[in-house]
Amino acid sequence: MTIHFTKVLIVDDDEDIRFLVRMGLERLAGKQVEEAASLDGAMVTIAATCPDLVLLDNDIDGEMGLDLFARLPASHPPIVLVTARSDVHTTAPYLAAGAVAVLQKPFDPVNLCATLERLLA
C-alpha cells in the first residue's frame, strides 16, 4: 500500500531538523509542512491540520516520541520514525506500535521527498 502525502507534520524539538524538513519538502517539493516541537504541540497540530503524514523524532525534550502513539486516536495519520539511532532497540517499539517506516538521520533534504516516497511505496 503506497502512502501519498501533501501535508506533513514534523515533530522534533531540534529547530534545525524542522528547518531541513521544511526546506526539503515545502520549498523543494511543494508539500505543505507543519511543525511541532513537543508531543503536546503535535497533538494540537494533528487535530487542527489533519496531516497526511507525521515525521516523528524518537526523543523530544526528554519525552519518547513513542508516547504519541498512546495519545492518538486509532485513525491517526501514518507515522514515520525519524532517528539517528538505527538499532533494533530504538526502532522496533515504534514499528510494533504502528510506525510505517524509519527515516535515518542525517538525511539529504534535497532528496527527502523521494526518500519518503520510496519508504512509503
Predicted confidence (pLDDT) per residue in 42-89, tens digit: 999 999 999 999 999 999 988 889 999 989 988 899 999 999 988 899
Asked if residue 1 is part of any domain, the answer here is no
What pLDDT does residue 20 have? 96
CATH no. for residue 58? 3.40.50.2300
Helix, strand, coil % (nearest 5) of the chain? 40, 25, 35
- Judged on CB neighbours under 10 Å (0-12, 13-18, 19+), 54 is buried
Contacts of residue 34, defined as CB under 8 A and 6 or more positions apart, other chains included, come to 7, 8, 9, 10, 45, 49, 51
Total structural domains in the chain?
A: 1
Positions of E strands within the chain? 7-11, 32-36, 53-57, 59-60, 63-64, 79-83, 101-104
| Domain membership flag for residue 2 | no
Whether the full predicted model's pTM is greater than 0.85, yes or no, is yes
Residue-wise pLDDT for 72-83, tens only, equals 988 899 999 999
- Residue 18 corresponds to which cell in the numbers above? 524542522
Smallest Cα–Cα separation from 98: which of 49, 62, 65? 65
Residue 26 included in any domain: yes
Question: Is position 56 within any domain?
Answer: yes
* Range(s) of the domain holding residue 33: 7-119
